């Protein structure tokens, strides 16, 4: 989970540096988002289920969309993901880390 949080922190730094209209920024953000999700895929399946429930398939689909259809990514969808989906993801990971012995 720490690896995912590291990727997400760097992703957020990329976003602070510029607009998603800048393809270099968009590329950097997508790379870090996909990497964060990829790192979460290495968690035991039950742990992923406990953390994300039925949302895991949507999270993984986001990674697949970035990895396999990058040319067709819509910056507005990535922006919505960053605004609405990533903050709760970070909060879930932080809470899990705090509750782990």
Q: Is the pLDDT of residue 20 over 90?
A: yes
**Cα(36)–Cα(51) distance, integer angstroms:** 15
Query: Confidence class of residue 11 from pLDDT cuts 50, 70 and 90?
Result: very high
- pLDDT tens per residue, range 68-98: 876 678 899 999 999 999 999 999 999 999 9
Is 56 in contact with 48 (CB distance < 8 Å)? yes
**Cα(7)–Cα(4) distance, integer angstroms:** 5
Q: What are phi and psi of 18, to 5 degrees?
A: 180, -175
Q: Is the pLDDT of residue 5 over 90?
A: yes
Predicted structure pTM score: 0.91
What share of the chain has pLDDT > 70, as a percent? 97
Q: What is the mean pLDDT of the chain?
A: 93
Query: Confidence class of residue 100 from pLDDT cuts 50, 70 and 90?
Result: confident
Q: Taking CA 26 as the corner, what is the angle to CA 21 and CA 27, rounded to the nearest 5 degrees?
A: 140
């Amino acid at each position: 989970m720490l690896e995912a949080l590291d990727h997400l922190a760097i992703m957020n730094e990329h976003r602070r540096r510029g607009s998603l209209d800048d393809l270099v920024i968009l590329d950097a953000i997508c790379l870090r988002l996909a990497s964060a999700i990829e790192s979460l895929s290495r968690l035991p399946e039950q742990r992923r289920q406990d953390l994300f429930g039925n949302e895991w398939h949507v999270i993984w689909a986001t990674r697949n969309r970035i990895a396999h259809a990058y040319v067709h990514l819509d910056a507005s969808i990535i922006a919505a993901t960053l605004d609405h989906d990533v903050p709760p993801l970070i909060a879930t990971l932080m809470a899990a880390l705090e509750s782990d012995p």
